[in-house]
């Protein structure tokens, strides 16, 4: 079920429909009623496969099946966040799901999770405990338990989880998977039920680093509708010789096997060009404590507190205990915690001057389901010891397999972490550590946005000047309500052109589009713009200020004001037609 194997299958004449039939049979044979919260009928999935088969075959994820954690929206499928009474049916896909489906991927079903993504164990769901696909009876990991179990069972090619405190890494460690926790804001969280909204990430489970990188590159598009989305440039691959941090003191909570497995991971990284550098992990672990011993847990109450108050009996007991305890934090302690986090972040900065990457146990130890249920809070806390600080400190991380414990029966893993924007570099380093082919994925070139308001908009006369330069649409919308629009008269072979003029007193919102160009294409495009038009800063309705077409004041001479139409396209459709020269 790797991307390479499926793509080879398609090249040999196989079809996405064949894959769906095979998966549906495997799901029946796997027989885990706690795995999926929503599994569509085979007929519905075959209809989706048929739609994909009509799409261009060169799409990067054409025909690739994936599973979605059930706190991420899929249009027309219920989203429960593992709470039946919370369930709703969204009208639209979450943005990350939309991007993946546009690339040809096929959603298979919605997977079980720790309710409201609160937990690292996979046992906090009224739908049951998804089976650990490698080691039944041991924790599957959470909160993205079903997403990991479905992938480890071979029921999909990749899966989506979420990761606020380790939910996309712990299940990967426990089920021998790659768990990619992207830089915060790299993947849109629009259409995701929030846990701690300021820290939440959509995560990717994959069979290997190359698959995770392929999915990441499809999904990592800045989303103007998500206030937490951001443009993040990717750092280059780590050099052949590099420095990796190893904490001078680690606490494995008495596990008999994981210390030796971690030492082996250190030796493996040294054998692949790394130099181990002892570091003091104290400021990192101090930051980790803030997540559940500070006011960030109150963000969970901000997300679902109203529902919990109205439906207390609908909430899983351990989850309700955690959520209700979060109400004790007031504004003053919240600010104090933020100040403390900034202090700790500053203390962490020198560490990155001495190392390129940080190597950590993903979890200190392993637990059976029975052990966790006997002490649900304490065991969960142990599992988050080396995961909780990542999003607080704005790090990217990749969890990867690092051998098996308990006489080779139970998977365990380590995590590589580095500052924001190291996502692809970490996946490439993971492939080195696992003796897999290096990634052959180039980082997309940096782009520059340009706001267009006239004939360069999609479907209009001059749009080809953008598409010929490889422009991609970033967003559609309007300006802030402070612009006037004029139609400059035609002149010879030059058709009428729009003139956008800033006017804080008489202006209104004007329809625009934002297109992304590489730096070279942007420079070439701008060089062709004739006076009195030019490039200035245009403020959009969402507050962004981006490069865009702005006219000199003289552009309004003998021009018809068309502000009242709200945009160039609407004026073109005016029954009175385009003014004569």
Residues of the chain by 3-state class (helix, strand, coil), percent to 5: 35, 20, 45
pLDDT of residue 540: 92
How far apart are the C-alpha atoms of 2 and 437, rounded to whole Å? Answer: 14
* DSSP for residue 81: T
Q: Is residue 265 part of a domain?
A: yes
Averaging pLDDT over each range in 50-54, 175-179, 341-345, which range is the top one?
175-179
Indicate if the pLDDT at residue 499 is higher than 60: yes
> Any idea what the CATH number is for the domain that residue 510 is in?
3.10.490.10
Catalytic one among 17, 145, 159, 167? 167
Listing DSSP states for 242-253 in one string gives EEEEEES----T
Cis peptide before 321 (omega within 30 of 0): no
- What CATH number should be reported for the domain holding residue 372? 3.90.1300.10
The structure tokens 């001479």 sit at: 557
Answer yes or no: are the C-beta atoms of 269 and 276 closer than 8 Å: yes
Domain match, 465 and 389 both: no
Do 515 and 566 belong to one domain? Answer: yes
| 478 and 380 co-located in one domain | no
pLDDT band at 78 (very low <50, low <70, confident <90, very high): very high
CA distance 137 to 123: 11
Which of 381, 398, 433 terminates a domain? The answer is: 433
CA distance 47 to 63: 12
Concatenate the DSSP letters of all residues of 168-205 into one string. Answer: TTHHHHHTT-EEEEPPTTSS--TTB--SSTTT--EEEE
Question: Does 361 share its domain with 278?
Answer: yes
- Same domain, residue pair 389 and 468: no
Measured distance CA(521)–CA(447) in Å, rounded = 9
For residue range 42-55, list pLDDT tens digits in order: 999 999 999 999 99
Angstrom distance (rounded) from CA 466 to CA 455: 11
* Cβ atoms of residues 6 and 129 within 8 Å: no
Can you give the three-state secondary structure of 299-352, one letter per residue?
HHHHHHHHHHHHCHHHCCHHHHHHHHHHHHCCHHHHHHHHHHHHHHHHHHCCHH
Asked if residue 553 is part of any domain, the answer here is yes
User: How many other C-beta atoms lie within 10 A of the C-beta of residue 375?
Assistant: 12
CB atoms within 10 A of CB 458: 14
CB proximity list for 552: less than 8 A, separation 6 or greater: 531, 532, 533, 534
The active-site residue, picked from 17, 125, 143, 145, is 143
What is the tens place of the pLDDT at every residue in 416-468?
999 999 999 999 999 999 999 888 755 556 688 999 999 899 988 889 999 88
Range list of H helices, 490-531? 519-527
SS3 category, 80: coil
Domain presence at residue 22: yes
110 among known catalytic residues: no
Residue 159 covered by a domain: yes
Q: Considering 386, 408, 433, which residue would you say is the last residue of a domain?
A: 433
Among residues 17, 69, 326, 430, the one annotated as catalytic is 69
* Chosen domain end from 378, 406, 433: 433
Mean pLDDT across the chain: 92
Confidence (pLDDT) at 581? 35
Cis, peptide link before residue 143, omega less than 30° from 0: yes
For residue 94, pLDDT over 70 is answered with yes
259 found inside a domain: yes
Could you tell me if 163 and 173 are in contact, meaning their C-beta atoms sit under 8 angstroms apart?
no
CA–CA separation, 261 vs 267, rounded Å? 10
| Same domain flag for 392 and 457 | no
Question: What is d(CA 187, CA 74) in angstroms, rounded to the nearest whole number?
Answer: 16
Comparing 265-269, 347-351, 417-421, 531-535, the range with the smallest average pLDDT is 531-535
Q: With 80 as the cut, is the pLDDT of residue 295 above it? A: no
Q: Are residues 424 and 537 in the same domain?
A: no
> For residue 31, is it within any domain?
yes
Same domain, 424 and 522: no
Range in 4-13, 236-245, 302-311, 343-352 with the lowest mean pLDDT:
302-311
Q: How confident is the model at residue 576 (pLDDT cuts 50, 70, 90)?
A: low
Active site residue 167: yes
Spatial CB neighbours of 520, under 8 Å, sequence gap ≥ 6: none
**73 CB contacts (<8 Å, ≥6 apart)?**
79, 90, 92, 93, 94, 97, 191, 192
Q: Same structural domain for residues 518 and 385?
A: no
- The boundaries of the domain holding residue 225 are 3-433
pLDDT exceeds 70 at position 475:
yes
Both tokens of 279, joined, read 């570091």
- Look up residue 359 and give its two tokens: 């190597």
- Tokens 């009474």, residue? 85
* pLDDT the model gives residue 522: 87
What's the number of domains the chain is made of? 2
Q: Supply the pTM of this predicted model.
A: 0.77
**Residues 327, 472: one domain?**
no
Secondary structure letter of residue 60 according to DSSP? T
d(CA 329, CA 322): 13
Statement to judge: residues 414 and 478 lie in one domain = no
Give helix then strand counts, H and E, for the chain.
19, 19
Q: Using alpha carbons only, give the angle 94, 95, 100 rounded to the nearest 5 degrees.
A: 100
Phi, psi angle pair for 62, to nearest 5°: -55, 120
Record the tokens describing residue 223, joined without a space.
């989303």
Both tokens assigned to 432? 């080195």
Rounded CA gap, 278 and 294, in Å?
29
Q: Is residue 442 part of a domain?
A: no
Q: 508 and 383, same structural domain?
A: no
Q: What percent of the chain lies above the pLDDT cut of 90?
A: 72
Contact 168, 144 (CB under 8 A): yes
Is 439 inside any structural domain? no
Comparison of pLDDT for 555 and 360, the residue scoring more: 360
Assess whether pLDDT exceeds 50 at residue 579.
no
Active site residue 69: yes
CB 306 within 8 A of CB 327: no
């Amino acid at each position: 079920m790797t991307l390479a194997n499926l793509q080879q299958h398609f090249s040999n004449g196989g079809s996405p429909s064949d894959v769906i039939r095979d998966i549906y049979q495997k799901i029946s044979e796997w027989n885990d009623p706690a795995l999926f919260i929503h599994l569509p009928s085979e007929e519905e999935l075959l209809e989706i496969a048929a739609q994909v088969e009509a799409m261009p075959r060169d799409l990067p994820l054409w025909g690739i099946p994936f599973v979605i954690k059930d706190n991420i929206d899929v249009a027309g499928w219920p989203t429960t966040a593992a709470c039946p009474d919370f369930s709703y049916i969204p009208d639209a896909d979450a943005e990350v799901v939309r991007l993946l489906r546009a690339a040809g991927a096929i959603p298979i079903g919605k997977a079980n999770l720790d309710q409201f993504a609160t937990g690292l164990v996979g046992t906090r769901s009224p739908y049951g405990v998804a089976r650990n696909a490698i080691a039944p009876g041991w924790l599957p990991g959470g909160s993205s338990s079903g997403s990991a179990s479905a992938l480890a069972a071979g029921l999909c090619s990749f899966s989506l989880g979420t990761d606020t405190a380790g939910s996309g890494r712990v299940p990967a460690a426990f089920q021998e998977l790659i768990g990619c926790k992207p830089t915060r804001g790299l993947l849109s969280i629009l259409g995701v039920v929030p846990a701690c909204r300021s820290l939440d990430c959509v995560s990717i489970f994959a069979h290997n680093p190359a698959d995770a990188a392929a999915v990441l590159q499809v999904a990592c598009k800045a989303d103007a509708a998500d206030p937490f989305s951001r443009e993040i440039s990717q750092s280059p691959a780590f050099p052949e010789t590099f420095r990796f941090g190893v904490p001078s003191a680690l606490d494995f909570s008495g596990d008999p096997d994981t210390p030796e497995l971690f030492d082996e991971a250190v030796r493996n990284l040294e054998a692949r060009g790394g130099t181990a550098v002892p570091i003091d992990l104290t400021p990192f672990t101090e930051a980790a404590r803030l997540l559940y011993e500070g006011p960030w847990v109150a963000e969970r109450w901000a997300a679902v507190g109203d529902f919990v108050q109205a439906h207390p009996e609908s909430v899983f007991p351990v989850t309700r205990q955690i959520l209700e305890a979060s109400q004790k934090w007031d504004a003053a302690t919240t600010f104090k915690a933020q100040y403390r986090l900034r202090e700790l972040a500053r203390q962490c900065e020198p560490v990155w001057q001495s190392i390129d990457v940080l190597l950590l146990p993903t979890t200190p130890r392993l637990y059976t389901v029975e052990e966790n249920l006997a002490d649900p809070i304490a065991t969960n806390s142990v599992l988050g010891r080396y995961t909780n600080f990542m999003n607080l400190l704005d790090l990217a991380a990749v969890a990867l397999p690092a051998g098996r414990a308990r006489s080779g029966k139970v998977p365990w893993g380590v995590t590589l972490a580095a500052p924001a924007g190291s996502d692809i570099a970490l996946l490439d380093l993971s492939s080195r550590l696992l003796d897999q082919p290096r990634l052959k994925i180039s980082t997309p070139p940096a782009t520059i946005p340009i706001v267009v308001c006239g004939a360069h908009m999609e479907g209009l006369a001059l749009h080809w000047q953008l598409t010929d330069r490889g422009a991609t649409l970033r967003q559609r919308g309007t300006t802030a309500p402070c612009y006037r629009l004029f139609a400059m008269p035609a002149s010879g072979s030059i058709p009428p052109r729009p003139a956008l003029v800033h006017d804080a007193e008489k202006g209104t919102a004007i329809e625009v589009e934002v297109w992304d160009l590489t730096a070279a294409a942007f420079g070439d495009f701008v060089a062709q713009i004739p006076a009195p038009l030019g490039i200035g800063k245009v403020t959009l309705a969402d507050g962004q200020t981006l490069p865009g077409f702005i006219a000199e004041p003289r552009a309004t001479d003998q021009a018809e004001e068309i502000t009242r139409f709200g945009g160039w396209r609407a004026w073109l459709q005016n029954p009175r037609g385009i003014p004569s020269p």
